[in-house]
Amino acid sequence: MSQAQNLYLADLREFRFLLFEQFGLGNMLGKAPFEDWGEEQVGMILEEGYRFCCDVVGPLNGSGDEQGCRIEDGQVKTPDGFKDAWKKLYEAGFKQLAGHHEFGGQGAPFAVALCFEEILAGSNTAFSMYPGLSQGVAEVVASFGTPEQKKKYVQRLSDGTWAGTMCLTEPNAGSDVGAARSRAVKNADGSYSITGTKIFISGGDSDLAQNVIHLLLARVEGAAAGTKGLSLFLVPKYKINADCSSGGSNDVSVGGIEHKMGIKGSSTAVLNFGEGGTCTAELVGTVEHQGMAQMFKMMNGARILVGVQGIAVASSAYLNALKYARIRQQGASIKQWKDASAPRVAIIEHADVRRMLLDMKARVEGIRCLALQLAVHSDRARMLQGKNDGEAAFHQGMVDLLVPLVKAYGSDQAYQICTTAIQTLGGYGYLKDYGIEQYCRDSKIFSIYEGTNHIQAMDLVGRKLSQNGGANFMRFGQEIGGFVAATKGHATLGSSAEVLGKAQEALMGTAMRLMGWFQGGRVEMVPLNANRFLEMMSETTVGWLLLVGAKIAADKLATTPETDADHAFYRGKIEAAKYFAKNVLPGVAYKADLIANEDDSALKIPDAGFATI
Amino acid sequence: MSQAQNLYLADLREFRFLLFEQFGLGNMLGKAPFEDWGEEQVGMILEEGYRFCCDVVGPLNGSGDEQGCRIEDGQVKTPDGFKDAWKKLYEAGFKQLAGHHEFGGQGAPFAVALCFEEILAGSNTAFSMYPGLSQGVAEVVASFGTPEQKKKYVQRLSDGTWAGTMCLTEPNAGSDVGAARSRAVKNADGSYSITGTKIFISGGDSDLAQNVIHLLLARVEGAAAGTKGLSLFLVPKYKINADCSSGGSNDVSVGGIEHKMGIKGSSTAVLNFGEGGTCTAELVGTVEHQGMAQMFKMMNGARILVGVQGIAVASSAYLNALKYARIRQQGASIKQWKDASAPRVAIIEHADVRRMLLDMKARVEGIRCLALQLAVHSDRARMLQGKNDGEAAFHQGMVDLLVPLVKAYGSDQAYQICTTAIQTLGGYGYLKDYGIEQYCRDSKIFSIYEGTNHIQAMDLVGRKLSQNGGANFMRFGQEIGGFVAATKGHATLGSSAEVLGKAQEALMGTAMRLMGWFQGGRVEMVPLNANRFLEMMSETTVGWLLLVGAKIAADKLATTPETDADHAFYRGKIEAAKYFAKNVLPGVAYKADLIANEDDSALKIPDAGFATI
C-alpha cells in the first residue's frame, strides 16, 4: 500500500525551460520589484521546494485520503501529520515567496511562486487547500483592509499563525452568490453582528493554526438585493484579544463536514454563524457594499490556484504513468505480433501507449504554459506599474482574460489527463496503490469549486471579451496572428503554424457570432455555447504557446549535441507541439462550425421530454 | 446519507419504446424459440425487475461501496446484505430469463434479458458482477462441456447454488493473455493438477454460494507458447462430491483482495492454485488447447455485459441529475439576469443545464440502442438458425461487429456521462450522498476490464472489419446508406440524415485507409488510430439508431394528442436525435480528417523525450 510513500513526481527541467528559455523570466530578475532575485535562487527554490514536498507533504497524500477529516468535540481534526506539515511549510518559508516584504514576504515573481504552488498542490492537493486559502485572505486584507487590519491580519495569515477561509456559498446561494441571506448588523462600537449559515467551506475548520479567520459575505440590514448589497467581513473563529492571542469562542460552530469523492484531507464544512447571537466581525476596509468586488480579488487568486491544482495532479499522473510505462513489460512489438515467442517489451514501445503518453505530455505542458503566461503578464504588470501604466494595463487585461481559461480549461484537462493516466496503467491504474485514481478523484472538484466551469465560460464571453472595449481580446488575437505570420515558413513547424492560423481565425469569427447573439436578442444561445468557446480559446492559446516553445527548442536543438540529455528533451518539446497542432488544434475550427450550426435542440425540448420520471 | 436508500432510477417507457416501437421485438415474440413470450410478459418482467432491484439490490449499493469486501479466515466476506440479495435474486428467477429450458431457464429473448441486466447492474454494479460471472461460466459449459459437465455444472451455476469466475489474468499476462504461466498436468484418472497464480479475479472468492467454480486458462505441459497453447479448466474452490455437495478444499487460496477506486462490493482477488500440490480440475470438453476459443464465448458475453454496466450507471446518473435539475432552485432566468429581485427558477430552466441534460440523454439512449441492436441481431440469429443459415450468419456477423463497440464506446461514454451528471449537480455531485460520484468511480473500470478499450479497438480493426471477407462491414455500411437515402427528404430529420450520410462516407473511407496501412507495411499507424476509428463507427451507429427512433417518434407524434404524456416523450426522442446529429455526428468526418493527417509524432518522439524523469 502507498500510505507512507510519496508518489509525487515533477520534471524540474521543464519548469526551467518554461521560466528561462520560453517565458524570459531572466529579463525580469534583478530589476525592481524583483531586484533580490536571480536565476540561481529560482532554481534553488524549485529544487528545495520539490524536495520538501516529496519529504514532508507528499507522504501524507495517500494516508490523508484514507483517513479524511473528522469532527471531535465540535472541531475538525485533520489527518495525521497535517499539523506537523503545516508548521514545517511555514518554517521553511515557501508560502511567503511572493508576499510583500512589509508583511514578511520574499517578493518573488508570481511565476516562481506559482511553480512552487504547483509542486505543493501536486504532492498533496487536500493539504495545499489550507495554506492556499489562508494566503488568499491575507491578500484581500493587504489590498482592501485598513492599516490596522493589515497590521493585525496579514502577517499572521501569511506565516501560519492563523488560517483563513472564504465564506460565500449558502444553501440557496451557490453559483447564484447574490442570493446570500447571511446578515450583518452594525453595533455601536463599529463592529458587526453576523448571523447566517455558510456551506461547502473549504478548510472551514481545522486544527492547524491558532485561529481561523473567515472572510464572509453578508448583507448589512437594508442593503440592496443581489451581489450589489453584499459586504465583506473578517470573522474569527475565536475572538481576538488586544495582543492578538485567541480569546473565547466567537459563536461560529461547525454544523458538519461533507463526505466527498476526493480531497478528503481538506475539510469541507457547514458553518453556523451567530446561532447564539454573539458572533462579531470587522468590515473589510471602511465602506459597506463593496464585498463582491473585494471578494473577487480572492476569487481570482483562488481560480488561478484551482487551475494550478489541475496542472499539478495531471502532471504527476502523467509522470507516474510514464514511469510505469518504462518499467512494465507486456506483449511483444506489433511488428512481431504473429510470433508468440517474440520477446516481451516495455509498454512504452506500444503505439497506443505512446499516443496516450504524448497526449498527456502535450496537454500537461500546455496548461502549464497557460498558467505561466498569466503569471508573467501579472509580473510584467507589476513591474510596469507607475512606469508605463498603459502597458501595465495591457498586461493586467491579459491576466483578466486568462483567468477563466486557466481555471476552467486547466481543470477539465486535468481530469481528462488523470483518466488517461489510469488507462495507461490498465487494471493497476484502478488500484489505490498507484495513487493515480486519487489524483483523478481529487481533480473532479476543480471543475466545480471557485465558480463552476460554466461560470468561468460566462465570465469569459459575458465580461472579459468586451473588457476595454474589446481591445484586450483583439490584441490577444493579433499576438497569435503575428506568430503565425512569422512561423508559417518554418521548416519543422510551418504546417503546424498554419493550423494555428486557422484556429485563430475561427476563434475571432466565433467571438463575433457570440457578440451578435448578445446584441440580436438571442442571449440564450450564448450559455449554450460558452463552454465550447472557452475551450476553443484555450486550445488556441495552448497550441500557440506550445509552438512558441517548440520554435525555441528547434533553435536550441541545432546547437545541442545528440549525446546531450537536452537533445531528447528538445525533441520532446517539438513532437508535443506538433501532436497538439495535428490532433487537438484542428478542433477549434471544428467547434466553430458546430457553434455556427446554431443548434437549439436543448432549448426546444419540453421539460417533460427529457424522461418519464 | 445514502446508505440505506435506493438511488437507482430507470425510465421504463424508454425500454418499451426501444423493444416494441423501434426494435420490433413484437415480431419475434410468440414464434420459436420465443413461443412462450408475449409483450405483456416482457412488460411485467421490466416492471417487476425494476421493483425488485429498487427494493432489494439498490439499497445495498452505497453501503456496499462504503463497506467493501474483506478477508476473514482466508475467505472473502461480501458486504452486508449481499448474501441475502443473491438468494432472493435467484428465487425470483431473474437470472434464468434467457437460459435454455433444459437447464431451468425461461428462454426469453436476449434483448429482454439485457434490459433486466441493465436494471440489475444500474442498481448495484458491484453486486451484479457475481451473478453475471456465474452465468458466463454456465454458458461456456453449456456450449463446450461434455454431457456430464453440463448436467453437473450448468443448472447449479444458473440457480445460485454455485458461483463462477473467469481466471485469465496473471502478474505478467494481462492484455497479453498468451503469456500465461499457469500449468496443468494430466493425471492418470483424466483429471488435471493445476498450479499458478491468477490476479484481478472479479468475484474471485465470496461467501454467496456453496462453491465457486473457476474457469481457468492454463497450459498443459508441452503445449505451444502464446494463446494457441492454452486450455480451459473447471476448477472448484471445494472438491465436488459424487452427489455434488462440497467436499474439502481444492487447494485454491485467496492471496489478497485489491483496494480499488470503485466497485468495492465486488471482490477482486489474487488466487493461488495448487500451492499444496492438490488442486485438481476438469478440462472443459475433451480436447486440449481449445481454451482461448472457448474462453472467447465467455469473454464476448462479458464484454457485452460491461457495455451494459456502462449504460446502466450512465442512465441512472442522468436520471438522477434530471431529477435534481427539476427540483433545485438557483439563479434567475437569463432573460432577467440584470434584475437581482427576479424570481429564482429550477436549474432545468438554465440553458447550460439543459445542454448537459440533453447531451446525457442522447448519449445514454444512444449506447442503449447500440446494445439492443446487438441483442436483436443475436435473437434473430437464434431464430433463423437451421431455417435460413445465411441470414443467421449475417446476424451473427453483426453481433461480432458490434461487441467491441458496445464494450468500448459504451464504457467510455458511461464515464463521460457520469462526469457530466456530477457537473450538473455542482458541489452536491461531488458528495457521496447523491450517489453519482460512486457511479463515476464504478464506471472507470469498464474501459479497462474484459479487454481494455484499445484491445476492443484492435479487435474491431484487426479482426472484425475483415471478417467474412469484409462483407459484414460493407453490409453494415449499406444499411446506414439506405436509411440516409430514405430519410434525407424528411421534413424534420432530413438535414440530420445528411450529416449521417457524411459520417457514413467518412467511416467507410477511413476503413479503407486502415486496410491500406495494414497492407502497405505501415502497421504501427493502425494502433495509433484504432480507438479513434472505433469511436467513429460507434458514433455513426448511434447517430443512425437515434435517427431511426426519431423517425418513428415523428410518425407517432402526428397522431398523439398534445395532452398525452407520450407527446412530450416523442418530442424528446426527436430533439435528442437532432442534438446528436448536430453536435456529435459531425465529429466522425472531423476524426476522419485527423486520421488522414497521418500524424506519427507519437512514434517519432524519443523515449527520453517524454520527460527527464
Residues of B whose CB is below 8 A from A430: 260-262, 444-445, 448
Rounded to the nearest 10°, the torsion over CA A325, A330, A334, A339 is: 160
Residue B100 has pLDDT above 90, yes or no: no
Residues of B whose CB is below 8 A from A262: 430
Nearest Cα residue to B443 out of B406, B411, B405, B407: B411
Residue type, B293: A
Residues B593-610: what's their mean pLDDT? Answer: 97
Would you place residue A175 in the very low, low, confident or very high pLDDT band (cuts 50, 70, 90)?
A: confident
Q: Are A258 and B431 in contact (CB under 8 A)?
A: yes
- In tens, the pLDDT along A51-109 reads 999 999 999 999 999 999 999 999 999 999 999 999 999 999 999 998 888 888 999 99
Nearest Cα residue to B317 out of B175, B179, B416: B416
Listed in sequence order, the residues at least 6 apart from B523 whose beta carbon sits closer than 8 Å to its beta carbon are A334, A335, B517
- For B339, the closest chain A residue by CA position comes to A226
Inter-chain contact B453–A601, Cβ cutoff 8 Å? no
Residues B445-463: what's their mean pLDDT? Answer: 97
Domain A12-291 in CATH 1.20.1250.20: no
- In tens, the pLDDT along B325-382 reads 999 999 998 888 778 788 999 999 999 999 999 999 999 999 999 999 999 999 999 9
Active site residues of A: 450
Nine cell digits for residue A279: 458572533
Residues of B whose CB is below 8 A from A334: 523-524, 526-527
CA distance A13 to chain B (A): 7
- In tens, the pLDDT along B466-519 reads 999 999 999 999 999 999 999 999 999 999 999 999 999 999 999 999 999 999
- In tens, the pLDDT along A348-380 reads 999 999 999 999 999 999 999 999 999 999 999
Q: Note the pLDDT of residue A297.
A: 85
Residue B88 has pLDDT above 90, yes or no: yes
- Closest to B430 (Cβ–Cβ): which among A227, A261, A582? A261
CA distance A341 to chain B (A): 6
- Closest to B609 (Cβ–Cβ): which among A227, A569, A586? A569
Residue B37 has pLDDT above 90, yes or no: yes
Q: Note the pLDDT of residue A477.
A: 98
* Residue A488, SS3 per DSSP: coil
Kindly report the pTM of this predicted structure: 0.98
* Cα A348 to Cα A330: distance, rounded to the nearest angstrom: 10
Would you place residue A497 in the very low, low, confident or very high pLDDT band (cuts 50, 70, 90)?
A: very high
Phi (first) and psi of residue A165, to 5 degrees? -140, 165
- In tens, the pLDDT along A419-456 reads 999 999 999 999 999 999 999 999 999 999 999 999 99
Residue B3 has pLDDT above 60, yes or no: no
CA distance A567 to chain B (A): 8
Would you place residue A317 in the very low, low, confident or very high pLDDT band (cuts 50, 70, 90)?
A: very high
Phi (first) and psi of residue A170, to 5 degrees? -130, 170
Residue A254 has pLDDT above 90, yes or no: yes
- In tens, the pLDDT along A280-309 reads 999 999 999 999 999 998 899 999 999 999
Would you place residue B291 in the very low, low, confident or very high pLDDT band (cuts 50, 70, 90)?
A: very high
* Residue A220, SS3 per DSSP: strand
Would you place residue A536 in the very low, low, confident or very high pLDDT band (cuts 50, 70, 90)?
A: very high
Q: Note the pLDDT of residue B2.
A: 42
Would you place residue A2 in the very low, low, confident or very high pLDDT band (cuts 50, 70, 90)?
A: very low
- Closest to B609 (Cβ–Cβ): which among A531, A571, A607? A571
- For A453, the closest chain B residue by CA position comes to B423
Active site residues of B: 450
In order, the DSSP letters of B421-469 are HHHHHGGGGGBGGGSHHHHHHHHGGGGTSSS-HHHHHHHIIIIITTGGG
- In tens, the pLDDT along B191-243 reads 999 999 999 999 999 999 999 999 999 999 999 999 999 999 999 999 999 99
CA distance B224 to chain A (A): 9
Residues of A whose CB is below 8 A from B351: 524-528, 602-603
Q: Are A67 and A57 in contact (CB under 8 A)?
A: no
Q: Note the pLDDT of residue B297.
A: 85
Inter-chain contact A341–B437, Cβ cutoff 8 Å? no
Residue B574 has pLDDT above 70, yes or no: yes
